Structure 1
Amino acid sequence: MNDKRPVNLDLTTIKFPVSALASITHRIAGIALFVALPILLWMLDRSLASPESFAELKDLLASPLAKLVVWGILAALIYHLAAGIKHLIMDMGIGETLEGGRRGAFTVIAVSVVLILLAGVWVW
């Protein structure tokens, strides 16, 4: 049997196009938001339970680890939102070509990097 399928299926050696990387990252950001949801709900509960629990949460969020976690959650939210807006624009028929998809992926990444850095300045 003369099989011409690829033998090497190591994903680290395959060069993905930027649109594929943007799509994969969008999915990862969605999963990260799903995982972060209990943390966010717990923080909301602590902030609304009593003035004392709000003060405790405020003190907890002053630690560098908590700031890093909040920044990570914000980063996932920002990227997922930017990529979702790109998908909504594509649903209207704008940027559906190969070049449009590539340009849209670069735009999402650039806008997300800027907004994530601004969110980091805001959190820290």
Structure 2
Amino acid sequence: ILHRISGLLMFLLLPFILFLLDTSLVSEGSFEYFKGITSNWFVKLIILALSWAYLHHFCAGIRHLVMDNHVGLDKDSARKSAVGVFAISLPLALVVALKLFGAF
């Protein structure tokens, strides 16, 4: 279900993200304006949520591609691979969070 939720989140926010990208590329002033907005901690949390949605969706997509090749279709293997997707996407999101909040 998280694969569908992350896909829906990315789909619904894609027009907003493209608008922000387009607006930030208009001039140097608009880029600086959006750079100032993204320094807010709440905006960083939104960016982190979108990053996790992308990373989770990407990892789950790889899982589904493997399952399309008839690997891991039994219930136990499918459950383990679902936990694996979650276990991979969370540390990747943690790395994004550390970078986003200035740890390195």
Q: Name 1:88's counterpart in structure 2.
A: 65
Q: Distance in 1 between matches of 2:2 and 2:10?
A: 12
The structure with more radius of gyration: 1
- What letter corresponds to residue 26 of structure 1 in structure 2? H
Q: Distance in 1 between matches of 2:90 and 2:20?
A: 26
Q: Name 1:105's counterpart in structure 2.
A: 82
1:31-42 → structure 2 map (5 Å cutoff): 31-42=8-19
Give the C-alpha shift of residue 120 in structure 1: 0.9
Moved over 4 A (4+): none
- Which range moved further: 82-91 or 95-104? 95-104
Alignment partner of 1:69 out of 30, 36, 46: 46
Q: Distance in 2 between matches of 1:122 and 1:39?
A: 23
Q: Distance in 2 between matches of 1:68 and 1:46?
A: 21
Q: Percent identity?
A: 36
CA RMSD of aligned residues (A): 1.1
- TM-score normalised by the chain length of structure 1: 0.77
Q: Distance in 1 between matches of 2:51 and 2:86?
A: 15
Unaligned runs of 5+ in 1: 1-23
**1:61-104 CA deviation, whole Å, 9 max, x = no partner?**
11111111111111111111111110011112211122210111
Q: Name 1:15's counterpart in structure 2.
A: none
Q: Name 1:7's counterpart in structure 2.
A: none
Aligned residues: 101
Give the C-alpha shift of residue 39 in structure 1: 2.2
Alignment partner of 2:30 out of 25, 42, 53: 53
More helix per residue: 1 or 2? 2
Q: Distance in 2 between matches of 1:118 and 1:32?
A: 21
Unaligned runs of 5+ in 2: none
